[in-house]
Amino acid sequence: MELDLSPKLPKRLYGGNGGSYLAWDPSELPMLKDGNIAAGKLALEKNGFALPRYSDSAKVAYVLQGCGTSGIVLPEKEEKVIAIKKGDAMALPFGTVTWWYNKEDTDLVVLFLGETSKAHKCGGFTDFFLTGSNSVFSGFSTEFQCRASDLKEAEVKTLVGSQKGTGIVKLDPSFQMPVPKEEHREGMALNCLEAPFDVNIPNGGRVVVLNTKNLPLVGEVGLGADLVRLDGSAMCSPGFSCDSALQVTYVVRGSGRAQVVGIDGKRVLEVTVKAGNLFIVPRFFVVSKIADPDGLEWFSIISTPNPIFTNLAGKTSVWKALSPQVLQAAFNISPEAENHFRSKRNSDAVFFPPPS
């Protein structure tokens, strides 16, 4: 069966005048289901409020646009209220309750990528809402609601029935939400646009990697992530994950060309990617990208918290590790040709500037 790795856009699942929630459909992007991966995107308009919910999946959240406020309650922990802005990444383990609010004119847009091996639907998130017309509490009988809350029947009906919205609502501009606390950000969020670079190649590109060192909660989520910014016309070295991890990539900005090569040296994807696209690189498949003149930026998750990659170009590539005689025999080339090949790309770079 042919692999369909072509990039896709999300579809709107629900929303109203406060914003919308979109998700990628595993029927259109089969690798989501095959790889037990899901992807969604929350877009909140001014005064939009995403009601408190928890999910059946662990996730990494990344703020694509705008700024706002997020409330995060880890299992058996106090609520953390943090200010969020473009470039912030957060790891959300199983059982985490979250809410999201935007009081600014610019839409707040948050990307969610996660693993669904324990989810109700492979390739898709299922959220359980604590309030609203479809909340878990509203599903219980009045007797159970009264006993659980220690309220009278009339009081319970007011509590449970007053919120008519589903998932996302719009608050009155005068309503005061909790004030974020700077100390709550520690260990909860990392801004990838302000963090130190893990890789920085002039005229090539830059990488910030999320792992258990700079965002410990990714260990509980079981995922790693990175933000890659490729300069105009630069190339990202061909490479693959050598620890059997899937790589799920969302194009944040710009455009460029991507090629993926799989089993038996077959090129399974050759496509121009642009902002908003999502595509998946299967385990052990080799991927490379070349940015268009305006550059290319992407955010990826990898299905292991501390991923290891093998490059097929540059000083750290496997070619440099193999002995000259092995390359001569393997390529069936002369010693001179092998020496010429080995002499190229002798920097540690994984990004290559455009040819001069």
Q: What are 40-50's pLDDT values in tens digits?
A: 999 999 999 99
CA distance 163 to 165: 6
Q: Which residue has the tokens 């100390």?
A: 183
**Neighbouring-strand partners of residue 327:** none
Percent of the chain with pLDDT over 90: 79
Give mean pLDDT, residues 225-247.
88
Residue 243 has a CB neighbour count (10 Å cut-off) of 15
Pairing of strands 58-65, 168-170: unpaired
Place of tokens 């693993």: 115
Looking at the DSSP bridge assignments, the partners of residue 14 are 21
Give 69's Cβ-side CA count (13 Å radius): 21
Q: Is the pLDDT score of 1 beyond 60? A: no
CB atoms within 10 A of CB 189: 24
Alpha-helical runs (H) found in the chain: 30-34, 142-149, 153-161, 218-221, 318-321, 324-331, 335-343
CA–CA separation, 101 and 114 (whole Å): 21
Q: What is the pLDDT of residue 5?
A: 86
Task: Evaluate if residue 60 carries a pLDDT over 70.
Answer: yes
CA 187 to chain centre: 18
Residue 190 pairs in a beta bridge with 89
Instruction: Give the pLDDT score at 348.
Output: 64
What is the distance between the alpha carbons of residues 269 and 324, in angstroms, rounded to a whole number? 31
Per the CB < 8 A criterion, the answer to whether 230 and 256 are in contact is yes
- CA atoms of 301 and 249, how far apart (whole Å): 7
- Confidence band of 99 (pLDDT split at 50, 70, 90): very high
What does the mean pLDDT of the chain come to? 93
Distance of CA 224 to CAs 124, 214, 216, Å? 19, 11, 10
187: left (phi over 0), alpha (psi -120 to 50) or beta: left
Q: Is the distance from CB of 305 to CB of 56 less than 8 angstroms?
A: no
**pLDDT tens digits for range 179-224:** 999 999 999 999 999 999 998 999 999 999 998 889 999 889 988 8
109 close to 215: Cβ distance less than 8 angstroms: no
0.75 surpassed by pTM: yes
The rounded Cα 344 to chain-centroid distance in angstroms is 34
Q: What is the pLDDT of residue 219?
A: 87
Strand partners, 49: 101, 169
Q: What is the pLDDT of residues 254-275, one digit of tens each?
A: 999 999 999 999 999 999 999 9
